[in-house]
């Protein structure tokens, strides 16, 4: 793993695995098969695990010292949801956080838990931190370096809170293959905070994984497992810090996407890191293939052209996905002004309404022609749609951001379905707007 360059901007502990790590393996590991999720080319067998000890108490204190600072909040804090502060891009301002998540010992623990060698996807995804406090007003001033042990009485509503009730609760898959969630608060008095996993391919009830306690972590193959985190109550603070990972080994590609992040992140920064991660991955794959062919050449062993063919095939799909995920910031900003992040996230809902309206077919066909003829930015997407549609018609099994694309021969596979499958909410909404389809449902 290349260590990212972090200028030291404030005095903090120097990460020392001997002092700060305290690993003991998880009691139980779960496989995708156990959760009824089929394996495919982008999966690995382990789905998740029960909480395991990762940080010593000194480690927790050092981590908290590194992030609970005014200069860190000034540079990294955002408020994407009411009552929650998130810290992003921590690796840029905290050498401790960066060094902890990229240290070979930490990586080997997380790789061990996941059953595959992993590295952080990109610096911006190192140590994404969610902070909730029970009081109102300035968040930082309510937090001390020592984790609070104060219990807070539950309200009636909190007492009866059911994470699976309510129509707005949709379990989702993460943008990246793997995730490690580490708890930096005392959970003695906490109620909730579990992860609910929906076993996708079997109609079983949700599986519940206990939330991690102070200094412990869980790993999850979050890009493949539909899950949701229950809210937690009863304690004065809750701080979780999360890093996303991908497989480190050559020859293993991932189906990461940026759908969840584009809604609120700083896009030029996100895209620059995304580009580096994807281009370096492709470069490493090409370098390895070149080295192999050169050594075959030297030792007079027969060259197998199918290997190059397979690699080119894979690289072409990978590079296409890389490009498609970088939705024009102008499009996002325009839509965000009109619909807000929540409205953009609901693009699928609008699309389903349009699909279901009377006389939908000719209107959608016309809008698709318009995209092909008069919206040059839609070119790549209409191309993808034609390709997927042709494969579906040939009976191929296709995968989208929310799992298998299940299709029957009664309904056609439409451009909106392709955008939905790729998690391109902004492009979907933009196309619906530009072509008057949004107006057709009165939205």
Q: How far is the CB of 26 from Fe ion (least distance, A)?
A: 18
Q: Which is nearer to Fe ion, 174 or 384 (CB)?
A: 174
Q: How far is the CB of 87 from Fe ion (least distance, A)?
A: 17
Binding interface with Fe ion (CB under 5 A): 174, 222
Which of 329, 357, 358, 359 has its CA nearest to residue 344?
A: 329
Q: Which is nearer to Fe ion, 261 or 415 (CB)?
A: 261
DSSP string, 372-420: HHH-GGGHHHHHHHHHHHHHHHTT--EEETTEEE---TTS---HHHHHH
Which position's Cβ is nearest Fe ion? Answer: 174
Q: Which is nearer to Fe ion, 222 or 423 (CB)?
A: 222
* Six-digit token string for 343: 């409205």
360 Cβ contact list (under 8 Å, min separation 6): 354
- Residue 151's DSSP bridge partners are 235
| Residues 138-176 as b or e (16 or more Cβ within 10 Å = b) | ebbeebeeebbeeebeeeeeeeebebeeeeeeebbbbbb
125: DSSP letter: G
Q: How far is the CB of 136 from Fe ion (least distance, A)?
A: 27
Q: Which is nearer to Fe ion, 62 or 118 (CB)?
A: 118
Q: How far is the CB of 229 from Fe ion (least distance, A)?
A: 7
Contact at 8 Å (CB) between 45 and 16? no
Q: Which is nearer to Fe ion, 143 or 239 (CB)?
A: 239
* Six-digit token string for 306: 């199918």
Residue 440: phi and psi, rounded to 5, are: -65, -25
Q: How far is the CB of 246 from Fe ion (least distance, A)?
A: 15
Q: How far is the CB of 123 from Fe ion (least distance, A)?
A: 19
Residue 22 half-sphere exposure toward CB, CA atoms < 13 A: 12
Contact at 8 Å (CB) between 184 and 211? no
Q: Which is nearer to Fe ion, 174 or 420 (CB)?
A: 174
226: DSSP letter: E
3-state secondary structure of 73: helix
What is the phi-psi region of residue 89: left when phi exceeds 0, alpha when psi lies from -120 to 50, beta otherwise? left
Q: Which is nearer to Fe ion, 242 or 344 (CB)?
A: 242
Q: Which is nearer to Fe ion, 174 or 254 (CB)?
A: 174
Q: Which is nearer to Fe ion, 215 or 222 (CB)?
A: 222
Contact at 8 Å (CB) between 152 and 134? yes
Contact at 8 Å (CB) between 416 and 321? no
**Cα angle value 411/416/419 (rounded, 5°):** 125
Q: How far is the CB of 181 from Fe ion (least distance, A)?
A: 8
Q: How far is the CB of 20 from Fe ion (least distance, A)?
A: 25
Q: How far is the CB of 331 from Fe ion (least distance, A)?
A: 25
The Cα–Cα gap between 75 and 60 comes to: 22
Tracing tokens 């008095």 back to the chain, one arrives at 189
Treating both helix axes as pointing N-terminal to C-terminal, what angle do 347-356 and 425-434 enclose, rounded to 10 degrees? 50
Q: Which is nearer to Fe ion, 37 or 414 (CB)?
A: 37
Q: How far is the CB of 322 from Fe ion (least distance, A)?
A: 22
Q: How far is the CB of 198 from Fe ion (least distance, A)?
A: 13
Q: Which is nearer to Fe ion, 29 or 224 (CB)?
A: 224
């Amino acid at each position: 793993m290349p260590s990212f360059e972090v200028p030291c901007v404030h005095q903090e502990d120097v990460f020392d695995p001997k002092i700060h790590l305290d690993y003991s393996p998880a009691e139980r590991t779960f496989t995708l098969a156990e959760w009824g999720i089929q394996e495919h080319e982008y999966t690995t067998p382990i789905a998740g695990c029960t909480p395991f000890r990762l940080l010593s108490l000194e480690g927790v204190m050092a981590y908290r010292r590194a992030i609970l600072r005014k200069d860190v909040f000034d540079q990294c804090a955002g408020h994407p949801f009411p009552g929650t502060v998130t810290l992003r891009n921590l690796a840029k301002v905290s050498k401790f956080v960066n060094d902890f998540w990229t240290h070979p010992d930490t990586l080997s623990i997380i790789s061990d838990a996941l059953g595959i060698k992993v590295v952080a996807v990109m610096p911006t995804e190192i140590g994404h931190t969610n902070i909730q406090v029970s009081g109102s007003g300035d968040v930082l001033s309510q937090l001390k370096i020592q984790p609070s042990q104060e219990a807070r009485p539950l309200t009636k509503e909190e007492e009866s809170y059911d994470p699976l009730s309510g129509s707005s609760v949709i379990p989702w898959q993460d943008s990246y293959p793997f995730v490690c969630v580490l708890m930096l608060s005392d959970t003695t008095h906490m109620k909730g905070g579990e992860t609910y996993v929906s076993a996708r391919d079997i109609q079983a009830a949700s599986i519940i994984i206990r939330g991690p306690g102070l200094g412990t972590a869980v790993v999850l193959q979050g890009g493949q497992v539909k899950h949701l985190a229950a809210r937690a109550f009863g304690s004065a603070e809750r701080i979780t810090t999360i890093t996303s990972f991908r497989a480190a080994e050559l020859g293993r590609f991932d189906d990461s996407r940026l759908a969840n992040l584009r809604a609120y992140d700083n896009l030029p920064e996100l895209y620059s890191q995304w580009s580096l991660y994807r281009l370096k991955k492709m470069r490493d794959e090409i370098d390895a293939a070149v080295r192999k062919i050169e050594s075959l050449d030297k030792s007079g062993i027969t060259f197998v052209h199918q290997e190059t063919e397979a690699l080119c095939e894979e690289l072409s799909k990978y590079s296409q996905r890389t490009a498609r995920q970088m939705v024009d910031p102008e499009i996002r900003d325009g839509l965000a002004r009109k619909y807000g992040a929540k409205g953009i996230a609901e693009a699928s809902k609008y699309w389903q309404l349009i699909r279901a309206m009377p006389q939908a077919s000719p209107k959608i066909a016309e809008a698709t022609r318009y995209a092909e003829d008069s919206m040059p930015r839609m070119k790549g997407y209409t191309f993808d749609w034609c390709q997927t549609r042709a494969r579906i018609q040939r009976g191929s099994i296709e995968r989208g951001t929310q799992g298998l694309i299940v299709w029957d021969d009664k309904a056609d596979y439409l451009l909106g379905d392709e955008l939905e499958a790729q998690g391109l909410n902004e492009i979907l909404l933009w196309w619906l707007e530009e072509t008057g389809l949004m107006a057709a449902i009165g939205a």
